């Protein structure tokens, strides 16, 4: 069993310094790995990123993150990723990492993702350059997610995004804004890449549980949805200690 803790949309800043840390003190009792599903800051500034870095530094389990749209707002996402990396947080954008655990290994592939909408109700790369750029950006990041999942050499694979791959976990959000909350192209990449679990944030009014069309479990861990410091998912059947189906 692999114990995965996850949270997104913590939106930390100076006014929320230390807000999560007390609940992280016993993290090792609950989980082997912590995933951060983007929107770690409020305005995407380096000052806020320092608060994030200190909040999640020196934890007893590996921490793997993607950035979200808020983390891009001040146009310094690479500097934010660098700062978090200096504090021991692995930041993914179109790449993957394999975490070695006691008797198990789990690979995490991550991208921020982007919008565009869902099958049959989505934008097309047609018309104005702005529209084509919007849709092609999502196509590009979904492609990078699929490639990153493909490259994982571990028995368990997790897809970590900020934007949602499915509409299931958007229930509660207005239908009209679904195209800004995610894209089915992310789900297609998750299914083709053979993920065992997909974790995302972004949809504060959404719901926690969903599945991709290919049957991969999806969890929306935006903090206003999960209403706690992090959620824990125990992923069974990937560490060799449990019987695999024939």
Could you list the residues that contact other proteins (CB under 8 A)?
3, 9-13, 15-16, 19-20, 22-23, 26, 30, 42-43, 70, 73, 196-197, 204-205, 217, 223-224, 227-237
DSSP secondary structure of 11-37:
-B-GGGTTSSHHHHTTHHHH-SEEEEE
Our CB check for other proteins shows the closer of 118 and 230 to be 230
How near is the Cβ of 11 to other proteins at its closest, in Å?
A: 5
Q: CA-to-CA distance for 173 and 169, rounded, in angstroms?
A: 9
How near is the Cβ of 143 to other proteins at its closest, in Å?
A: 27
Q: CA-to-CA distance for 184 and 67, rounded, in angstroms?
A: 19
Distance (Å) of CA 89 to CA 81, 206, 242: 9, 27, 30
How near is the Cβ of 238 to other proteins at its closest, in Å?
A: 10
How near is the Cβ of 120 to other proteins at its closest, in Å?
A: 25
Q: Helices 129-150 and 184-192, interaxial angle, to 10°?
A: 20
Our CB check for other proteins shows the closer of 90 and 219 to be 219
For residue 213, how many other CB atoms are within 10 A of its CB? Answer: 13
Our CB check for other proteins shows the closer of 144 and 202 to be 202
Our CB check for other proteins shows the closer of 80 and 144 to be 80
Element (H, E) at 97: strand 95-101
Our CB check for other proteins shows the closer of 88 and 172 to be 172
| CB-count burial class (<10 Å; 0-12, 13-18, 19+) for 3 | middle
How near is the Cβ of 45 to other proteins at its closest, in Å?
A: 10
């Amino acid at each position: 069993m692999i114990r995965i803790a996850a949270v997104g949309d913590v939106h930390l800043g100076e006014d929320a310094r230390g807000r999560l840390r007390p609940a992280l003190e016993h993290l090792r009792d609950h989980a082997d790995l912590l995933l951060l599903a983007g929107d770690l800051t409020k305005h995407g500034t380096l000052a806020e990123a320092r608060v994030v870095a200190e909040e999640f530094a020196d934890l007893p389990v590996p921490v793997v993150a993607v950035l979200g749209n808020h983390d891009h707002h001040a146009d310094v996402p690479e500097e934010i990723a660098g700062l978090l990396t200096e504090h021991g947080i692995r930041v993914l954008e179109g790449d993957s990492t394999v975490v070695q655990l006691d008797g198990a290994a789990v690979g995490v592939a991550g991208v921020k993702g982007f919008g565009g909408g869902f099958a049959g109700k989505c934008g097309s790369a047609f018309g104005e350059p702005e529209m084509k750029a919007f849709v092609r950006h999502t196509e590009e990041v979904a492609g990078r997610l699929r490639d990153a999942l493909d490259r994982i050499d571990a028995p368990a694979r997790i897809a970590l995004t900020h934007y949602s791959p499915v509409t299931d976990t958007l229930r509660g959000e207005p239908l009209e804004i679904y195209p800004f909350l995610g894209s089915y192209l992310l789900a297609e990449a998750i299914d083709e890449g053979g993920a065992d679990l997909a974790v995302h944030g972004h949809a504060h009014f959404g719901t926690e549980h969903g599945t991709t069309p290919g049957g991969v479990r999806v969890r929306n861990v935006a903090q206003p949805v999960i209403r706690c410091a992090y959620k824990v998912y125990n992923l069974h059947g990937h560490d060799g200690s449990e019987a695999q189906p024939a």
